[in-house]
Amino acid sequence: MAHIQDFLAHQVGSRPDALALTDSIGTRWSFAEADRASTDLAARLKDAGVVPGDRVLMLSENCAPAVAALFAAWKLGATIIPVNARQTEAEVKRILDHARPAAALMTCEASRDAATHAERMGATEIAGSFGRLHLARPFDSNPDPDLGDVAVLLYTTGTTGDPKGVMLTHDNVRFGGMASATLRDMTPDDLVYGVLPITHVFGLASVVTAATYAGAAVQLEARFSAAKLYEALQGGVTLLSAVPQMHALLMQYTKEQGHTQLGSDKLRYVSSGAAPLDPAWKRKAEAFYGVALQNGYGMTESTAGVCATRNPMGSADISVGPVLPGVEIKIDDTVEGGGDGSGEVMTRGAHVMKGYYRNPEETAKVLDAEGWMRTGDLGKIDAQGHLHILGRSKELIIHGGFNVYPPEVEAALNDHPQVIQSAVIGRMKDGDEQVLAFVQVAEGDTVDPADLKAFVGERLAGYKRPSRIYLGTSLPAAPTGKILKHRLLEAFADQLD
Q: Mean per-residue pLDDT for 33-59?
A: 98
- Whether 209 shows a pLDDT value over 60: the answer reads yes
Q: Report the pLDDT value the prediction gives residue 160, as an integer from 0 to 100.
A: 43
Using CA atoms, how far apart are residues 297 and 11, in angstroms rounded to an integer? Answer: 29
- Whether 350 shows a pLDDT value over 70: the answer reads yes
Residue with the bigger pLDDT between 224 and 19: it is: 19
Residues 354/356/362/367 CA torsion (nearest 10 deg): -10
Confidence of residue 479 (pLDDT cuts 50, 70, 90): confident
Q: What is the mean pLDDT of the chain?
A: 92
Q: What is the pLDDT of residues 291-347, one digit of tens each?
A: 999 999 998 999 979 999 999 999 999 999 999 999 999 999 988 777 888 999 999
Confidence of residue 88 (pLDDT cuts 50, 70, 90): confident
Q: Mean per-residue pLDDT for 44-54?
A: 97
Q: Is 458 exposed, middle or buried (0-12, 13-18, 19+ CB in 10 A)?
A: exposed
Give percent above pLDDT 90 in the chain.
Answer: 72
194-197 long-range contacts, Cβ below 8 Å, gap at least 24? 194/21, 194/62, 194/218, 194/219, 194/220, 194/221, 195/62, 195/220, 195/221, 195/223, 195/224, 195/229, 195/242, 195/246, 196/241, 196/242, 196/243, 196/480, 196/481, 197/61, 197/62, 197/84, 197/479, 197/480
C-beta separation of 322 from 307 below 8 A: yes
Confidence of residue 395 (pLDDT cuts 50, 70, 90): confident
Q: What is the pLDDT of residues 176-200, one digit of tens each?
A: 999 999 999 999 999 999 999 999 9
Alpha-carbon distances, residue 404 vs 213, 274, 334, 440, 468 (angstroms): 42, 19, 17, 21, 15
Question: What backbone phi and psi angles, to 5 degrees, belong to 265?
Answer: -100, 0
Residue with the bigger pLDDT between 178 and 160: it is: 178
First to last CA, the chain: 58
Q: Mean per-residue pLDDT for 59-84?
A: 97
Stretch among 171-175, 356-360, 389-393 having the lowest mean pLDDT: 389-393
- Whether 273 shows a pLDDT value over 80: the answer reads no
Which residue segments constitute the domains of the chain, with CATH numbers given? 5-171 (3.40.50.980), 224-393 (3.40.50.12780), 396-491 (3.30.300.30)
Q: Mean per-residue pLDDT for 238-260?
A: 90
Q: Report the pLDDT value the prediction gives residue 100, as an integer from 0 to 100.
A: 97
Q: Report the pLDDT value the prediction gives residue 158, as an integer from 0 to 100.
A: 41
Q: State the sign of the Cα–Cα–Cα–Cα dihedral 203, 207, 212, 217.
A: negative
Q: What is the pLDDT of residues 145-159, one digit of tens each?
A: 999 999 999 998 543
Closest by CA position to 381, among listed 311, 307, 437: 307
Confidence of residue 6 (pLDDT cuts 50, 70, 90): very high
Q: Report the pLDDT value the prediction gives residue 243, as an integer from 0 to 100.
A: 80
Stretch among 205-219, 307-321, 459-473 having the lowest mean pLDDT: 459-473
Using CA atoms, how far apart are residues 301 and 168, in angstroms rounded to an integer? Answer: 8
Q: Report the pLDDT value the prediction gives residue 219, as an integer from 0 to 100.
A: 98
Confidence of residue 248 (pLDDT cuts 50, 70, 90): confident
pTM of the model as a whole:
0.85
C-beta separation of 455 from 418 below 8 A: no
Confidence of residue 399 (pLDDT cuts 50, 70, 90): confident
Instruction: Give the pairing of strands 150-155 and 397-399.
Output: unpaired
Give percent above pLDDT 70 in the chain.
Answer: 97
C-beta separation of 8 from 170 below 8 A: no
Q: Report the pLDDT value the prediction gives residue 159, as an integer from 0 to 100.
A: 37
